[in-house]
C-alpha cells in the first residue's frame, strides 16, 4: 500500500527537525566551548546543515504532498495543525534560494565571531563591515519573503519568530505602554528614593557558590538535569532541544544577583521546551508557539515568580547559606527591595521590569529603520545614543554598553526584539490567570513548591505546542487576547500596593 502524503510529510519533517536540532547543539557549542580558531569551520558546518534543511523543505515533492495533505479530510486536529505549520515553514523556505541560505548562515557566523571581540573591546568599527554585509543579506531575504508571503519586509522577518505577528499590532500595544510608563517610571523612582536604601550584601561572591545556588534553584523549579545542563557564555541563552536543553549565564563575582536571575529566566525557557508535547517531537506542531509565548514563560518565572516576596522568602535562607551571609542585608524583604529596584541603566538584560520596555522599544525602532533602509549601519551608535536619551534620559559611555551589548543582530536574528516586551505583557496575563485558577500557588512558591504552577502551565500552554495560534492559545488560557491590563495591574501592585 502506498504511503499517504501526510505520512510521507511526517517522516520528512522528522528528518528536517533532526537536522535543525543538530544546528542548535552546534550553536550552543560555538557559544560555550568552541575555541576561537574554530569559527570558520563552524560557519561552514552550519551553512551546509542549513542548506540541507532548506533543500528538504523546498523539494518539489514537499509542495506536492503538502497540497494533498491539506485536502485530506481524514486528518485529526493535531495532524491538521501539523500540516498548517509545515506549510508556514515551507512558505518561508521557498522564498529563498539555496545560495541565499548559505550566504546568510556564513555571514551570521562570521559576524558573530567578530562581534565577540568587538564587544569586549567596545570597538564597533571592527565589526561594522561584517555587520553591514549581514544586514544587506537580511534585507534581501526580508524582501524575498515579503513578496512570497504578501507582507512588509519587517513583518516577514517578524513572522519567523512570532507567526502571524504584525508590526501594526505591536505598535498598538507599545503605544499603550507609552501612555503610562513615562509617568509611572519617575513616580516609582521618587517613591523608592524616599525610602532608606536597602542594605548591600557583602561580597565577593565566588562563581562556584553562585553556580551551586543556581543549580539548586533550577532543580526546585523543575529543571531536569538528565535532560539539560547549565554553562557559561558571553550572552545568556536557552538552546539545545526539548530533550537536551542547554542554558547559559555569565557570572560577576562582585554581584550574584544578575547571574542568578539570568539563570532563572533561562530556566523558564527550558521548562517550556521540556513541557512541549512529547508525542509530537520533531514535528512543527510539537514546537513552541512563537517567541511571544516563549518569552512569556521565561519572564513569568523571572519577573512574576522569582522577583516576588514569596519566592525570596524561600530563596533567602539558601542565599545566606551559599555566601555565608548574615544580618539585615540577607533578609527576604531586603533582597526583595534589591530585586525590585527601579533605575534607568544601559544594559537590557540587567534592566528592571519598569524600564525594560524602553530598551526593547528602542531596538524595535532601530531594527525597523535598518530593515527599511532609513538607518545606515555606520550610524547605529549615534542613533542608539539618541534613542536612549529620549527614552531613558541617559546615553551609553561606550559601544559595549550601547549597540554592541546584544548578540541578536550580529547573529542574524532580526524581528526578534519586540517579542521580549510582548512576552512580559503575556507573562503578567498568564500568571494572573494561573493565580485565579489556583490561589494556593503564592503560598506554595513561598515554600519552594512550584508543582501546581508548573502543572497548570503544562496543561494550558506547554503541552499544546503549536496546536493553535498564539492569540487563540492565550485566549484559551486567560480568556482574553494579548492586552496590557494585567501587566499594568502587576506593576501598580508591586510598586505601589505591596
Nearest to 362 by CA among 343, 385, 344, 379: 385
pLDDT at 18: 96
C-alpha cell at 404: 554592541
Q: Percent of the chain, pLDDT > 70? A: 99
pLDDT 10s digits, 470-494:
999 999 999 999 999 999 999 999 9
* 171-497 matches 5-161 in CATH topology: no
Q: Any idea which architecture 171-497 has in CATH?
A: Orthogonal Bundle (1.10)
CA 460 to mean position of chain CA atoms = 20
pLDDT at 2: 67
Please name the helix (run of DSSP H) or strand (run of DSSP E) that holds residue 245, with its range, or none.
Answer: strand 244-249
Burial per residue of 217-232, b for 16 or more beta-carbon CB atoms within 10 angstroms, e otherwise: bbebbbbeeeebbbee
Nearest to 219 by CA among 304, 314, 293, 295: 314
pLDDT at 486: 97
3-state secondary structure of 244: strand
Q: For the residues 331-352, what does the mean pLDDT come to?
A: 95
Q: In what order do the strands lie in the sheet with 238-241?
A: 228-232, 244-249, 238-241
pLDDT at 498 over 80: no
pLDDT at 234 over 90: no
Please name the helix (run of DSSP H) or strand (run of DSSP E) that holds residue 284, with its range, or none.
Answer: none
Q: Looking at the DSSP assignment, which residues form a beta bridge with residue 245?
A: 228, 240
Domain boundaries, the chain: 5-161, 171-497
pLDDT at 120: 95
The pLDDT confidence band at residue 235, using thresholds 50, 70 and 90, is confident
pLDDT 10s digits, 97-128:
999 999 999 999 999 999 999 999 999 999 99
pLDDT 10s digits, 26-54:
999 999 999 989 989 998 999 999 999 99
Measured between alpha carbons, how far is 250 from 243 in angstroms, rounded to an integer?
23
Contact, 28 vs 46, CB < 8 A?
no
C-alpha cell at 78: 493535531
Q: For the residues 434-461, what does the mean pLDDT come to?
A: 97
pLDDT at 1 over 60: no
pTM, entire model = 0.94
pLDDT at 243 over 80: yes
Q: Average per-residue pLDDT in the chain?
A: 96
Answer positive or negative: Cα dihedral of 97, 21, 371, 91. positive
Q: For the residues 400-411, what does the mean pLDDT come to?
A: 96
Report which of residues 203 and 337 the model is more confident about: 337
- Domain 5-161, what fold? Methane Monooxygenase Hydroxylase; Chain G, domain 1 (1.20.58)
3-state secondary structure of 127: helix
Which residues, including other chains, have CB under 8 Å from residue 194's CB and lie 6 or more apart? none
Q: Give the residue numbers annotated as catalytic, written as ranges.
A: 266
3-state secondary structure of 365: helix
Amino acid at each position: 500500500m502506498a504511503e499517504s502524503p501526510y505520512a510521507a510529510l511526517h517522516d520528512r519533517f522528522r528528518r528536517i527537525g533532526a537536522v535543525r536540532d543538530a544546528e542548535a547543539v552546534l550553536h550552543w557549542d560555538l557559544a560555550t566551548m568552541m575555541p576561537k580558531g574554530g569559527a570558520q569551520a563552524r560557519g561552514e558546518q552550519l551553512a551546509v546543515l542549513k542548506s540541507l534543511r532548506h533543500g528538504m523543505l523546498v523539494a518539489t515533492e514537499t509542495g506536492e504532498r503538502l497540497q494533498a495533505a491539506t485536502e485530506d479530510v481524514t486528518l485529526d486536529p493535531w495532524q491538521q495543525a501539523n500540516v498548517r505549520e509545515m506549510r508556514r515553514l515551507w512558505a518561508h523556505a521557498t522564498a529563498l534560494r539555496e545560495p541565499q541560505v548559505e550566504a546568510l548562515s556564513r555571514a551570521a557566523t562570521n559576524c558573530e565571531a567578530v562581534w565577540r571581540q568587538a564587544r569586549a573591546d567596545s570597538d564597533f568599527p571592527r565589526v561594522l563591515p561584517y555587520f553591514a554585509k549581514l544586514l544587506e543579506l537580511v534585507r534581501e531575504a526580508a524582501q524575498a519573503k515579503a513578496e512570497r508571503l504578501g507582507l512588509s519586509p519587517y513583518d516577514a522577518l517578524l513572522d519567523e519568530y512570532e507567526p502571524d505577528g504584525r508590526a501594526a499590532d505591536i505598535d498598538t500595544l507599545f503605544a499603550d505602554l507609552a501612555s503610562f510608563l513615562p509617568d509611572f517610571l519617575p513616580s516609582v523612582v521618587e517613591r523608592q528614593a524616599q525610602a532608606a536604601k536597602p542594605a548591600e550584601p557583602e561580597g565577593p561572591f565566588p562563581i562556584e557558590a553562585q553556580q551551586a545556588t543556581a543549580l539548586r534553584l533550577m532543580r526546585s523549579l523543575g529543571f531536569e538535569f538528565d535532560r539539560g545542563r547549565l554553562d557559561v557564555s558571553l550572552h545568556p541563552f536557552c538552546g539545545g532541544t526539548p530533550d537536551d536543553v542547554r542554558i547559559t549565564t555569565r557570572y560577576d563575582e562582585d554581584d550574584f544577583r544578575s547571574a542568578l536571575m539570568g539563570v532563572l529566566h533561562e530556566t523558564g525557557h527550558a521548562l517550556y521546551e521540556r513541557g512541549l508535547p512529547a508525542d509530537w517531537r520533531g514535528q512543527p506542531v510539537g514546537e513552541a508557539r512563537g517567541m511571544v509565548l516563549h518569552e512569556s514563560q521565561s519572564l513569568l518565572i523571572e519577573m512574576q515568580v522569582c522577583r516576588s516576596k514569596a519566592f525570596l522568602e524561600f530563596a533567602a535562607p539558601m542565599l545566606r547559606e551559599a555566601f555565608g551571609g548574615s544580618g539585615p542585608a540577607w533578609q527576604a524583604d531586603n533582597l526583595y527591595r534589591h530585586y525590585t529596584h527601579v533605575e534607568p541603566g544601559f544594559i537590557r538584560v540587567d534592566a528592571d521590569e519598569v524600564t525594560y520596555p524602553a530598551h526593547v522599544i528602542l531596538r524595535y525602532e532601530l531594527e525597523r529603520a535598518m530593515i527599511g533602509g532609513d538607518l545606515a549601519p555606520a550610524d547605529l551608535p549615534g542613533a542608539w545614543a539618541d534613542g536612549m536619551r529620549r527614552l531613558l534620559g541617559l546615553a551609553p559611555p561606550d559601544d559595549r554598553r550601547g549597540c554592541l551589548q546584544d548578540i541578536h543582530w550580529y547573529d542574524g536574528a532580526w524581528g526578534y526584539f519586540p517579542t521580549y516586551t510582548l512576552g512580559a505583557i503575556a507573562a503578567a496575563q498568564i500568571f494572573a490567570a494561573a493565580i485565579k485558577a489556583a490561589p494556593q500557588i503564592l503560598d506554595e512558591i513561598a515554600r519552594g513548591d512550584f508543582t501546581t504552577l508548573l502543572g497548570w502551565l503544562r496543561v494550558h500552554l506547554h503541552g499544546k505546542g503549536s496546536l493553535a495560534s498564539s492569540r487563540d492559545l492565550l485566549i484559551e488560557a486567560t480568556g482574553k487576547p494579548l492586552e496590557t491590563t494585567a501587566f499594568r495591574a502587576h506593576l501598580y501592585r508591586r510598586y505601589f500596593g505591596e
